């Protein structure tokens, strides 16, 4: 058998190619990690709306907006996972209809079907779940779905229309009036002509004030402060953790688990993939967590990881 000598430059190229393979793998993994760490979770939610002369939506464009609101509301209810009264659902949907432009990333039409009294439009709506959670936090619904916040309210100089609006805001935010509550809110017009509003909020977490052109503006400012401080206090009270999971065979499996973490709303407030490293036993992925319920997190982790023979540790 004859042997052919490989020229020195070819041998060098072959050797460098062999050496480059692991580096190509590492570089490819680095790209995947970067994509995973920066990815924004989204969910495709199917929704429908009917448009026609006898319908709430008179045009196709209005039906599309109605379908978006339906999809975002359904996604919000899935996040909250708590029974809401019909009145509060309606208030929540009214609010979410105003922020669909922020939380809807895209959509695809599935078709139109003639129905009695109009045409049914079906769409798949891509909802930015993390952005939606943030909006639910800002209006308190994320924190008050199961237990409302009690407050003492002093509303001065309000017309019947303004008083009704404040009642609607209480319903949306999940706050209710209760004698002796530790949270005290005062709202009043800024001047006798009722041009502009001013308000204060006093709570164990501290005090704040806000002014604005409408009572809605003032209410938003006061309660955004309250819930942001409540969120920070929860995170500072030992609710942060690091999750490390070992034994992944592919980057795709890490990505699938990352998506699952963002659905565990009763266990986690947030989950951010920090890094993925290669080890002899497979990939090791690390997440930074803000916890809601540690017991629920452990249960979810056991259900997901044990069948896949993955090991995990949760570090403070």
* pTM confidence score: 0.69
55-79 pLDDT per residue, tens? 888 899 999 999 999 999 999 998 8
| Range list for CATH 3.10.129.140 in the chain | 42-141
| Range list for CATH 3.40.50 in the chain | 146-237
256-313 pLDDT per residue, tens? 999 999 888 778 888 999 999 999 889 999 999 988 878 889 999 999 999 999 999 9
Burial of residue 168 (number of CB atoms within 10 Å: 0-12, 13-18, 19+):
middle
Burial of residue 217 (number of CB atoms within 10 Å: 0-12, 13-18, 19+):
middle
Q: Alpha-carbon distance 228 to 223, whole Å?
A: 8
| Range list for CATH 3.30.70.120 in the chain | 238-315
Q: Span 146-237: which CATH code?
A: 3.40.50
Contacts for 276-283: CB closer than 8 Å, 24+ residues apart: 276/29, 276/32, 276/33, 276/36, 276/248, 276/251, 278/26, 278/29, 279/246, 281/246, 281/247, 282/246, 282/247, 282/248, 282/249, 283/29, 283/246, 283/247, 283/248, 283/249, 283/250, 283/251, 283/254
Q: Does domain 42-141 have CATH number 3.40.50.150?
A: no
Q: Which CATH class is domain 238-315?
A: alpha beta
pLDDT at 117: 86
């Amino acid at each position: 058998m004859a042997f052919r000598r490989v020229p020195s430059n070819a041998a060098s190229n072959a050797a460098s190619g062999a050496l480059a393979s692991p580096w190509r793998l590492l570089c490819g993994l680095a790209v995947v990690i970067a994509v995973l760490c920066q990815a924004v979770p989204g969910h495709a939610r199917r929704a429908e709306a009917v448009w026609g002369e006898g319908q709430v939506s008179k045009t196709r464009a209005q039906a599309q907006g109605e379908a978006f609101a339906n999809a975002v509301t359904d996604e919000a209810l899935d996040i909250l996972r708590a029974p809401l009264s019909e009145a509060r659902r309606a208030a929540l949907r009214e609010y979410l209809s105003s922020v669909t432009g922020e939380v809807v990333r895209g959509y695809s039409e599935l078709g139109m079907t003639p129905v009695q009294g109009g045409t049914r439009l079906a769409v798949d709506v891509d909802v930015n779940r993390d952005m939606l959670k943030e909006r639910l936090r800002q209006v308190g619904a994320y924190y008050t779905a199961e237990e409302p916040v009690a407050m003492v309210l002093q509303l001065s100089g309000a017309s019947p229309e303004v008083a009704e609006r404040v009642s609607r805001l209480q319903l949306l935010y999940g706050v209710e009036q209760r004698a002796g509550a530790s949270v005290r809110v005062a709202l009043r017009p800024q001047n006798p002509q009722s041009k502009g509003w001013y308000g204060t909020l006093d709570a164990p977490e501290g005090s704040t004030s806000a002014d604005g052109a409408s009572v809605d503006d003032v209410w938003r400012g006061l309660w955004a402060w309250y819930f942001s401080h409540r969120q920070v206090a929860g995170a500072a009270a030992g609710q942060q953790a690091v999750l490390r999971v070992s034994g992944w065979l592919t980057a795709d499996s890490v990505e699938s688990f990352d998506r699952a973490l963002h659905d565990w709303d009763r266990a986690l407030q947030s989950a951010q993939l920090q890094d993925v490293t290669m080890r002899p036993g497979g990939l090791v992925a690390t997440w930074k967590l803000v916890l809601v319920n540690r017991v629920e997190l452990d249960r979810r982790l056991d259900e997901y990881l044990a069948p896949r023979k993955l090991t995990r540790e949760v570090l403070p």
